[in-house]
Structure 1
């Protein structure tokens, strides 16, 4: 987006109206409960969230250390005292409890933070919808008391609130719904039928997607009923699938023992009578079962896999459905990874505060990914985020220029840090530059990108 500052990206999710609402609700609640006015202004709420963001970037073992003589941060201590910070943290509210009717409290377990979630959700829904999205579970880490706390042992943060997320392949969150039970999802889905919990989540998070969108998910969500239901909505689902959900297809496919004997890269497929749904079985280190209404085994390609016995990479055959799934499925995991780098992890027993901090992290992650995506389009370096400088990236010469009989001689450049190799597919660093092309290329015994670039 032209002429946008980094703050403009954040204000898609967290704007001045939201900060003013938090200040007003916090003041009103504090006055009604304790009789002492909080007198929090909109700017002070901004400074509070800014301090929490800075604390996540410069983590200390205890929050009180930010006001210590030896470890204090002036950016925090100059805005408010330690006691004032803790009072704001303790009094933070996004609505006035007495204004919420009893029936809304019963049907929505997260009503205490719902206005804040709705504002973040509005920003997520305002983003452009791509052709391919992924849907997966996300854990909001919290070990205290909460009405809908979950335990998922296979997650990096196994205890917390479960959040179902729809995201793009590059990690931008488009929609989410916090789990409150299947009954809450039934009220948001038209004609649920016998979809099950996974199908209800797919239907709910696909309501803002365009027709002909490809949805990628794991085996928790995938079933034949879900495939048929989404095809009626002109959407296609691809994902891993449990054996007991496709018993008829498993009986027609080769057994695990047979495929293991044939070696890695072996694959087979079966389709429904109408040819709309395909089940593919591929053997890598172990058998993988996939189902899709848009992809199939063909066309196959080759991929590199590590061989433990040979202790080197080997080339094996890979079906098209595997390649598409691997390239499109990791959006939610990427969003989790971006949020985990600088998570607001102050200890608290209040699940409401934990939710506010988590979705602030989500808004910041989305803002950064959108900012970096726009800079990539403009051929700018995303590293210079807050420096206000632009560093143009030198274009790679055309292949016809590289193959001319010019003096493409290498030279060693005396520089402090090695530059990134510009050969396609190489992520190495080098100080060798072509005197004609003016690009850096690897020139080593085991990796000669210089020769490959010019031939």
Structure 2
């Protein structure tokens, strides 16, 4: 469905002229596909829910004692103990104060908001890390999955092409001159679960970057990437504190940075290049971190622990409005061309997915992640195949070949199954392919011979017409004129064809001299 795009899912099984596809019909019916999509689950385990406190409910009062019995008992019993303060019912107490036999199984365990997709999510992440070890240059960026349904994880980002959707943190490979075909491979990703109480943006992004590089979840069988990588980030993640943490684990980073970040040098704030041409730049060093501000159409601030502050003749191409849009070379610090080339790994992956996207409009957020898992597995497989094989193949041809191999057995077994369009079953059903008119050709008798009778007219209308057309493969005479086309009617409906064959067999047994037979020498 990513290559053959139709307006609705049901159009793939349509019988209209410009809609429908025979390969979809041969694999499964539309009703079965919809039933699978409605009942599809990635995790059959449902964690027990914690009991919710229901305010406003008071404890049930004890039954009143009869007055005749209460008086003697009160005189015989000892005085009651001191009154205790009123206690809430057991089901309204906090989870840790409830009786041990009434506490849920997951008491004290944080709730997993992704339990519906957890098995498939862990499998995809583990497989992406195990099948390919990236080169030196990697990048981290966010992705948006289009979704407008109900979910606490839904995000609104008005400056993104997809403004409403679910967000992913993605670690992907960057462009490498020694291995250019491996760019865009998704090494790992994580799901954004929504805002967390007490967490700042700077702390959240640092945590995301560290966990993508070195997973700490003991339940996830993922391994750390190692040391010596060059990581490229945008200004949403970059900070001095994060780059120092990465330096401690021997991972070097570079990326744009916001001037309002904590620790940004004050001498690089404000207007630095008043009256200067494009290409001017200033830098300062704070320990192992190098801050660079470069004048482009706007001032660009960058932070790096990879590059040096010296100028080595690097230039970038820019268009000049003064010269009518002519391209000219503009001097730039070393971090600028490297950042432009090696930051687009996630964007390249998004671009490859957008050509043959399988995501459809759904109202259930697990299905959005399911479609994303399929796209990730397909695109990563294509990148691996392209980088490891000498056979040059396009992305589209790779997907078609993959689908053909997956449905080869299903298509062969259901090739001649009749396709129904829904509704109540009738007496006349569609015939299989070998009974269609394309597999049979009409023939005509010589006019010198006597005419024969049409078996369809004889059965349906009890008419006995003199005709000269017949079907040689079936061995019976059928009308094939501009006024009547019994040839098509006979081959289109299997029940009618069965009745006609039974009638022909009966006539041949009872009256072999009847004019229902075909004589080969009489054909034209």
Shift in alpha-carbon separation, 1:185–1:227, aligned structure 2, 3 A: farther
Report the Cα distance in structure 2 between the residues aligned to 1:290 and 1:149, rounded to whole angstroms.
30
Correspondence for 2:352 among 325, 330, 338: 338
* Counterpart contact for 1:236–1:293, Cα < 8 Å: yes
Shift in alpha-carbon separation, 1:315–1:385, aligned structure 2, 3 A: same
TM-score by length of 2: 0.58
Correspondence for 1:88 among 26, 30, 36: 36
Name the residue aligned to 1:123: 127
Shift in alpha-carbon separation, 1:98–1:219, aligned structure 2, 3 A: closer
Given the alignment of the two structures, is residue 150 of structure 1 paired with residue 155 of structure 2, yes or no?
yes
Report the Cα distance in structure 2 between the residues aligned to 1:185 and 1:279, rounded to whole angstroms.
30
Report the Cα distance in structure 1 between the residues aligned to 2:42 and 2:226, rounded to whole angstroms.
33
* Counterpart contact for 1:144–1:350, Cα < 8 Å: yes
Name the residue aligned to 2:268: 253
Report the Cα distance in structure 2 between the residues aligned to 1:248 and 1:348, rounded to whole angstroms.
44
The structure that is helix-richer by fraction is 1
The CA deviation at 1:156 is 1.2
* Counterpart contact for 1:339–1:365, Cα < 8 Å: yes
Report the Cα distance in structure 2 between the residues aligned to 1:65 and 1:194, rounded to whole angstroms.
45
Deviations 1:333-378 (A, max 9, x none): 1111111111113221111111101111111111112211223xx3
Alignment: residue pair count: 321
* Counterpart contact for 1:142–1:159, Cα < 8 Å: yes
Report the Cα distance in structure 2 between the residues aligned to 1:248 and 1:184, rounded to whole angstroms.
26
3-state secondary structure, aligned to 2:116: helix
Report the Cα distance in structure 2 between the residues aligned to 1:100 and 1:119, rounded to whole angstroms.
24
Query: In the TM superposition, what are the counterparts of 1:100-179 in structure 2 within 5 Å?
Result: 103=106, 107-126=111-130, 127-169=132-174, 170-179=183-192
The CA deviation at 1:385 is 4.3
Report the Cα distance in structure 2 between the residues aligned to 1:374 and 1:185, rounded to whole angstroms.
46
Query: In the TM superposition, what are the counterparts of 1:276-291 in structure 2 within 5 Å?
Result: 276-291=288-303
* Counterpart contact for 1:280–1:296, Cα < 8 Å: no
Name the residue aligned to 2:251: 235
Report the Cα distance in structure 1 between the residues aligned to 2:350 and 2:49, rounded to whole angstroms.
34
Query: In the TM superposition, what are the counterparts of 1:310-329 in structure 2 within 5 Å?
Result: 310=323, 311-329=325-343
TM-score by length of 1: 0.66
3-state secondary structure, aligned to 2:27: coil
Given the alignment of the two structures, is residue 206 of structure 1 paired with residue 220 of structure 2, yes or no?
no
Shift in alpha-carbon separation, 1:173–1:260, aligned structure 2, 3 A: farther
The CA deviation at 1:267 is 1.1
Name the residue aligned to 2:472: none
Report the Cα distance in structure 1 between the residues aligned to 2:264 and 2:303, rounded to whole angstroms.
13
The CA deviation at 1:252 is 2.2
Runs of at least 5 residues in structure 1 that lack an aligned partner in the other structure: 1-54, 187-192, 389-455
Runs of at least 5 residues in structure 2 that lack an aligned partner in the other structure: 51-105, 175-182, 215-223, 402-524
Q: What's the C-alpha RMSD, in Å, of the aligned pairs? A: 2.6
* Counterpart contact for 1:271–1:278, Cα < 8 Å: yes
Correspondence for 1:368 among 382, 393, 397: 382
Query: In the TM superposition, what are the counterparts of 1:175-186 in structure 2 within 5 Å?
Result: 175-181=188-194
Shift in alpha-carbon separation, 1:254–1:139, aligned structure 2, 3 A: closer
Report the Cα distance in structure 1 between the residues aligned to 2:386 and 2:48, rounded to whole angstroms.
40
The CA deviation at 1:296 is 3.2
Shift in alpha-carbon separation, 1:91–1:106, aligned structure 2, 3 A: farther
3-state secondary structure, aligned to 2:135: coil
Shift in alpha-carbon separation, 1:184–1:255, aligned structure 2, 3 A: closer
Report the Cα distance in structure 1 between the residues aligned to 2:298 and 2:20, rounded to whole angstroms.
53
3-state secondary structure, aligned to 1:121: helix
Report the Cα distance in structure 2 between the residues aligned to 1:387 and 1:56, rounded to whole angstroms.
10
Name the residue aligned to 2:93: none
* Counterpart contact for 2:152–2:194, Cα < 8 Å: no
The CA deviation at 1:300 is 3.6
Q: Which moved more, 1:239-248 or 1:175-184?
A: 175-184
Deviations 1:163-198 (A, max 9, x none): 101000111000111012465999xxxxxx996111
Shift in alpha-carbon separation, 1:64–1:340, aligned structure 2, 3 A: same
Name the residue aligned to 2:371: 357
